[in-house]
Amino acid sequence: MTALKNDRFLRALLKQPVDVTPVWMMRQAGRYLPEYRASRARAGDFMSLCKNPQFACEVTLQPLERYPLDAAILFSDILTIPDAMGQGLYFETGEGPRFRKVIDTPADIEALPIPDAESDLGYVMDAVRTIRTALDGRVPLIGFSGSPWTLATYMIEGGSSKDFRKAKAMLYDTPEALHLLLDKLAQAVTSYLNGQIRAGAQAVQIFDTWGGNLSAAAYQEFSLAYMRKIVAGLIREHEGRQVPVILFTKNGGLWLESLADSGAEALGLDWTCDIGEARRRVGAKVALQGNMDPSVLYAKPAAIRAEVGRILESYGQGSGHVFNLGHGITPEVDPAHAGAFIEAVHELSGRYHQG
């Protein structure tokens, strides 16, 4: 494989010296870009975009053509695993993801297969290989998956949910059934991420989007315990380099110390955490990724620059910070504002990495 021309993202995750703070954006390949909307229109629909490796590669690279980002992230969806388990994923306009089959009973869980990364999710592995070739060492490629708890909520609710009524009822009424589902999903996620690493992903992120909706005790038992299991089962070195793991629990600021003990190299923070306080709490155990409020990108470039400066100052001197948004970039953002954000990170961060 081609040597990396820009490895500051990987270096920062391992707390090694960098010249400037690296930056990428969650959902950086997405609807805020007119070129993405054009590609999606040509593909026909979202899943056709995901399942065609050439289209997935095209949209993965689009933000890199516009901006000097320090990493690419695989274009896919967190719900590919439940789809491969036979749940029948589809997208309804204005409604988001839905499943044709929903988990209602312990028997439904027992019947679920654990998908094979290459045979059942080969289109994702093909996309990773295609993207790595196209990147030609420009920047590292990030692979990703949803966390077991997050995937389970969609499978039990049949789609997105505001209150997680069915999933939480299962958690308290029949915890043994939920544990069986989460264990199967942990096995599937481990296999899936290892498949992505073998195919060429140079770092991986686990998106625990809904972990922050749990109580403190339930989070430890039903979310973090399974992410720990995944981290323990991942390939940690490939192509002669360490493969860092990032855990991102939205609204997980209460549990940073537990997350820092998970075995992951880095923690993603949402914008409700102060990054300087987070750094004081976790010490040198992990790198931190984040954590500007995505809504700041609706403001004028001067305000964006000021907020970037504030977050950099809060984190302080030294490596171990990957700048990102606290959640995904939203579709209504002006692409020029995203450009101003990335430019500000690179311009303002150099002084934090001197000496």
Mark the binding-site residues for substrate, compressed into ranges: 27-31, 77, 154, 209, 327
Annotated catalytic residue within 32, 36, 67, 154: 154
Nearest 5°: the CA angle 152, 154, 158 is 125
Q: At a CB cut-off of 8 Å and minimum separation 6, what does 103 contact? A: 87, 109, 112, 152, 155, 156, 181
How many residues does the structure list for the chain?
A: 355
Annotated catalytic residue within 7, 8, 11, 27: 27
Which residue's entry shows tokens 């494989």?
Answer: 1
How many CA atoms does the CB half-sphere of 223 hold within 13 Å?
32
Respond yes or no: is residue 77 known to be catalytic: yes
Annotated catalytic residue within 31, 138, 236, 241: 31
Respond yes or no: is residue 27 known to be catalytic: yes
CA 131 to the chain's CA centroid: 17
Q: Where are the alpha helices (DSSP H) in the chain?
A: 8-13, 34-43, 46-51, 53-66, 80-82, 106-110, 117-120, 122-135, 148-157, 165-173, 175-199, 216-219, 225-233, 256-260, 275-282, 301-315, 335-349
What tokens appear for 259 in the block? 């997350």
Buried b (16+ CB within 10 A) or exposed e, 71-110: bbbbbbbbbbbbbbbebebeeeeeeebbbebbbeeeebbe
CA 202 to the chain's CA centroid: 13
User: Which residues sit in the known binding site?
Assistant: 27-31, 77, 154, 209, 327
**By the 8 A CB rule, do 36 and 62 touch?**
yes
Which residue's entry shows tokens 């690296």?
Answer: 22
What tokens appear for 303 in the block? 């305000």
Annotated catalytic residue within 7, 70, 77, 83: 77
Catalytic residues: 27, 31, 40, 77, 154
